[in-house]
Amino acid sequence: MMAHVISIANQKGGVGKTTTTINLGACLADEGHRVLIIDSDAQGNATSGIGVQKAQVGKDIYDVLVDEYPLAETIIHTAHERLDIVPATIQLAGAEIELTAQMAREMRLKLGLEPVLKDYDYVLIDCPPSLGQLSINAFTASNSILIPVQSEYYALEGLSQLLNTVRLVQKHFNPNLAIEGVLLTMYDARTNLGAQVIEEVRKYFGDRVYDTIIPRNTRLAEAPSHGMSIVDYDAKSRGAEVYQSLTKEVLAANGQ
């Protein structure tokens, strides 16, 4: 069995990509699956958010993408059982430009991942807030993309650009790239706006929108500063509950 590879992507920042990557990853691991997170954002929020210290990081995703360093040798085991990560550091900020000058640059992550696909059930790629070489590498290496959408007025803005990039990658590099699902995040039940946005997103994406909606939850925002997933930080929180529910939907959609 080869890992199912999912890019968590939306070129807007602050929509819940990293939060979803870490917490879906931890919940999938709790369900007995072997999970690898790839941090593909120079901010390194997935790396620090899952508790990996800068001092633990030797080579990282930059070295894999730019210098074709073996990905297997960059993997770090996290404190969460069955959950590993390929870390990112600020040096990744240079990768967009350096990759632009190189050959077969779109395939770097796909080629790097290939030897470890047999070691995992799920690979989750935490994408940066842009649609450049890093995202194209992620989409080329993926079976599908999961799109977190913030439940706010401009939720759909920019999504046509994202879908255009998906079509481009389908056409040139990865014809089988699918939409895994669309996840509404940071829902605030106290405003009417949230309900309108949900309706709008459901009209646009139909049944590709998950039934699970991630509400605003303080515990979800606190967990990364403790280097923990929500299930490690506060297993009884609403945040933990909703990410467990999302995980069941993702597993069901993949026949598990």
DSSP 99: H
CA nearest neighbour of 159 among 194, 212, 126, 201: 201
Q: Which of residues 224-253 bind ligand ADP (CB under 6 A)?
A: 224
Cα distance between the two ends of the chain: 13
The answer for residues whose C-beta is within 8 angstroms of residue 160's C-beta and 6 or more apart is none
Looking at the DSSP assignment, which residues form a beta bridge with residue 178? 144
Out of 7, 19, 78, 229, the only residue in the binding site for ligand ADP (CB under 6 A) is: 19
Count the Cβ atoms, other than its own, within 10 Å of residue 100.
10
Identify which of residues 219 and 248 has a Cβ nearer to ligand ADP in the complex: 219
Helix H or strand E segment including 124: strand 122-126
The answer for residues whose C-beta is within 8 angstroms of residue 191's C-beta and 6 or more apart is none
Smallest distance from the beta carbon of 197 to Mg ion, in angstroms? 21
DSSP 60: -
Q: Give which of Mg ion, ligand ADP, none residue 214 binds (C-beta under 5 to 8 Å, depending on kind).
A: ligand ADP
Smallest distance from the beta carbon of 198 to ligand ADP, in angstroms? 15
Smallest distance from the beta carbon of 146 to ligand ADP, in angstroms? 12
Give the x-and-dash track for 123-162 against ligand ADP (CB under 6 A): ------x---------------------------------
Give the x-and-dash track for 186-225 against ligand ADP (CB under 6 A): x---------------------------x-xx--xx--x-
Identify which of residues 44 and 105 has a Cβ nearer to ligand ADP in the complex: 44
Identify which of residues 18 and 150 has a Cβ nearer to Mg ion in the complex: 18
CA–CA separation, 102 vs 33, rounded Å? 35
Q: Does 18 bind ligand ADP (CB under 6 A)?
A: yes
